[in-house]
Structure 1
Amino acid sequence: MSAEDIERPPHRKIIHIDMDAFYASVEQRDHPEYRGKPLVVGGGPEGRGGVVATASYEARKFGIRSAMPSKQAVKLCPEAIFVFPRFAAYKEVSQGIRAIFARYTDLIEPLSLDEAFLDVTEDKLGIGSAMEIAKQIKQAIKDELRLTASAGVSINKFVAKIASDMNKPDGLTFIGPSSIENFMEKLPVEKFFGVGKVTAQKMKGMGLHTGADLKKLTEHELTRHFGKTGRFYYHIVRGIDNRAVQPHRETKSMGAEDTFGSDLSELDEMHEELDKIAEKVVTRLQRYQLKGRTLTLKIKYHDFKQITRNQSFAIGIDDLVTIQQTAKALLEATDTTKKIRLLGISLSNFGDNQQGAVKEISGQLRLFN
């Protein structure tokens, strides 16, 4: 039998749906007085100030972005309206969005409240066209929830996700099999999965600015410079991403953290806050019957410098005393003379203790005072 006689498996049909300025759009939908105005959802700029969770498109025109300190946001746009997030409302809307997805497929992988991957290779309604399904989903979200979403359609998750961000808001972008490799060659390296600011600077220092530049390196060279992720770069720049849409993604970590209204300078204060955070973590672990073998302490100082420290155990833990004592020991092994803005504790490495699919909203509130 020749290679031509071997039937190749059909391409998958993947849709990535990403809501447009989700929190801000829900607020503008529910509060007419916010419509058409620069709206920021997050902690206000008063006092030491909070952090921007999301901003309306009117606010984004001024350069306001997610994770930006609210004090900086108000400097960019003094007339911006700041509102505290209503997570219960956002979660309810998210459930409505998920119900719309479920009309078409059961292969839904939520990434957060406002975005998800859908595998519609075999859709429930027999529509066949991923583009048509994406159009119908967008229209249903608009008609039933009075919100807009952007969609990316392709044959794999990586490209679909990039496509959904190309024509926001209310966008719909298709990148087909024949154009993927050319598209990836033109893609700036900072758009690649796993490439943050530091890695992007390293790449550019090596003369790697686009996917075409990455493509010149062998798989061995990429892994030598960038570790295991280098293997992913090697394949994805060639349009190869075989990751499946996972309806039941395993929980990788679970934790909680708090940003304080004023910086902590005394060890007793730090211990007290760690005790409170540990209680939240234990409540979440026990709710989902999880035990983690690795505890990670996160510290952000007053100057926004951030460090993490971790401790691993032979067996999984979920008891309050062990978590509190370990977090305090990790803290005391650092420089406790510096003022601390944020503390966080998380458990990971669940292994056989993983009890199923959990997508915890924990961490959303941590952005705000």
Structure 2
Amino acid sequence: MDAFYASVEQRDHPELRGRPVAVGGSRERGVVAAASYEARKFGVHSAMPSVTARRKCPELVFVPPRFDVYKAVSLQIRAIFAEHTPLIEPLSLDEAYLDVSENLQGIASATEIAQRIRASIKAETALTASAGISYNKFLAKLASDHRKPDGLFVITPRMGPAFVEALPVGKFHGVGPATSARMNRLGIHNGIDLRAHSMAFLQQHFGKAGAYYYWIARGVDERPVRPDRIRKSVGAENTFATDLVTLDAACAALLPIIEKVWRYCEGAGIRGRTVTLKVKYADFSQVTRSRTGLGPVANQAELDQVSLALLEPLFPPQRGIRLLGVILSSLDDGSEMAEAQLRLSV
């Protein structure tokens, strides 16, 4: 979907159409969750601090998020996908991979399927979507970004390797800013630079991800579309109206965040072993602290205990704290905990 949250707000509020819009944050605090294309022309983008966004675009209109509405629209879109294939791997509320090799309507052309899906989305939601069509997930993702907004692009098997050659590594899906900078320091700036290095070299410098980088530099990606993809982490965070400077205030602010994470885990029937605390300071510097247990976190009281234990050594802080977050990872469906309880009762 194109600038999904912002586009929904512009659809539902005509006075916002044609104006630079940021969803989330506020004039001074918080971060941008989504930016309209009018805002992006000024350099505003998601995850940008609100104060920076306001400096780049003084006319920016901040809108509070309505996640219940975005989820409802996302379900409408998912239903359109399901008319064509059951092989749908959601990445977020506004993005998914679809395998249409064998599709429910027997359409021979993936491009035609994409065109029909985009037309249905436009008709049913009044929103635009961009589609990428290719022979693997990596290239389909690149293609989906190539002609945004409201675009469609196809990367054929013949085009694939050459398309990757000229692409800056920072544009590769799965290569974040830190990895991109590390590659640049090694003289790797684009796909052809990446392809020049051996598997051993890439694994030496990038660990397990080295094999992935080796193959995508050649346009090869064997990952299937997985409708049952397991979520890797659950997290929540909050940016505060005023900076936190005392441990008592930080603990009080952290507890509702922990509760939100645990409520999701309870509803989804999942548990996790690794607890990560995220702290962002007034100068926007950030630290994380993690702890991994031998088994999954059993209850909210345990999650409280571990999270607060990670927080306490950070006090007194040299700078005020503007944001706190808690992430639970190393997830499973709770079966490990059930088995552990069974063994204990025996």
1:203 and 2:189 correspond: no
> Which structure 1 residue ranges, 5 or more long, are not aligned?
1-18, 356-369
Does 1:116 find its partner at 2:96?
A: yes
**Aligned-residue offset at 1:226:** 1.2
Query: How far has the Cα of 1:317 moved from its partner?
Result: 1.4
Q: Out of 2, 9, 14, which is 1:32 matched to?
A: 14
Please say if residues 42 and 83 of structure 1, whose CA atoms lie closer than 8 Å, have aligned partners that are also in contact. yes
Q: Match of 1:315, SS? A: coil
Q: 1:218 to 1:198 in 2, by over 3 A?
A: same
Match of 2:47 among 67, 83, 107: 67
What are the superposed Cα offsets for residues 326-353 of structure 1, whole Å, 9 maximum, x if unpaired? Answer: 1111112335323211111222223462
Q: State yes or no: 1:343 paired with 2:343.
A: no
> Relative to structure 2, which stretch is displaced further, 215-224 or 25-34?
25-34
**Once structures 1 and 2 are overlaid, which stretch shifts more, 198-207 or 235-244?**
198-207
Q: In structure 2, how many angstroms separate the alpha carbons of the residues matched to 1:59 and 1:344?
A: 27
Q: TM-score, normalised by structure 1?
A: 0.87
Aligned mates of 2:290, 2:239 — CA distance in 1: 20
Q: 1:50 aligns with which of 15, 30, 36?
A: 30
- 1:157 counterpart = 2:137: yes
Conservation of the 8 A alpha-carbon contact between 1:101 and 1:108: yes
CA distance in 2, matches of 1:239, 1:29: 38
The answer to whether 1:234 aligns with 2:214 is: yes
Distance 1:327 1:222 in 2: 35
Point out the more displaced range, 106-115 or 53-62: 53-62
Residue 232 (structure 2) aligns with: 252
- Which 10-residue stretch deviates more, 342-351 or 161-170? 342-351
Residue in structure 2 matched with residue 142 of structure 1 by the alignment: 122
Provide the secondary structure at the position in 1 that maps to 2:147: coil
Name the CA distance, whole Å, in 2 between partners of 1:140 and 1:200: 37
Note the alpha carbon deviations across 1:49-73, whole angstroms, 9 max, x for none. 2221112111211221111122222
Q: Secondary structure of 2:221's partner? A: coil
Please tell me the residue identity of whatever aligns with 2:11. R
Q: How high is the TM-score relative to the length of structure 2?
A: 0.93
Letter aligned with residue 249 of structure 2: E
CA distance in 1: counterparts of 2:233 and 2:217, whole angstroms: 29
1:20 counterpart residue number = 2
- Quick one: higher RCO (CA 8 Å, sep 6+), 1 or 2? 1
Out of 169-178 and 291-300, give the one that drifted further.
291-300
1:274 alignment counterpart: 254
Task: Quickly say closer, same or farther: Cα 1:54–1:255, change in 2 above 3 A.
Answer: closer
Shift of 1:318: 3.2
**Paired residues of 1:157 and 1:241 also in contact (CA < 8 A):** yes
Q: Give distance in 2, aligned partners of 1:143 and 1:240.
A: 35
CA distance in 2, matches of 1:69, 1:354: 40
**Matching residue's letter, 2:145:** D
Shift of the 221–331 alpha-carbon distance from structure 1 to 2, 3 Å rule, reads same
In 2: Cα distance, 1:354 partner to 1:196 partner: 33
Q: SS of the counterpart of 2:9?
A: helix
CA positional deviation for 1:324: 1.3
**2:299 corresponds to:** 319
Work out the CA distance in 2 between the residues paired with 1:208 and 1:122. Answer: 38
1:69-148 superposed matches below 5 A: 69-148=49-128
Identity across aligned pairs (percent)?
A: 54
Q: Distance in 2 between matches of 1:102 and 1:209?
A: 39
User: Partners of 2:328 and 2:236 in 1: how far apart?
Assistant: 10
Contact 1:285 1:318 in 2 (8 A): no
1:293 is matched with 273
CA offset at residue 193 of structure 1?
3.1
What is the CA distance between 1:196 and its match in structure 2?
A: 2.1
> What secondary structure is seen at the aligned counterpart in 1 of 2:158?
helix
Q: Is the 8 A contact 2:202 2:210 kept in 1?
A: yes
What residue is the counterpart of 2:158 in the other structure? 178
Q: By how many angstroms is 1:354 displaced?
A: 6.4
Q: What SS does structure 2 have at the residue aligned with 1:350? A: strand
Question: Structure 1 stretch 284-293 or stretch 212-221: which is displaced more?
Answer: 284-293
Indicate the SS of the match to 1:149.
coil
For 1:285 and 1:110, how far apart are their aligned partners in 2? 19
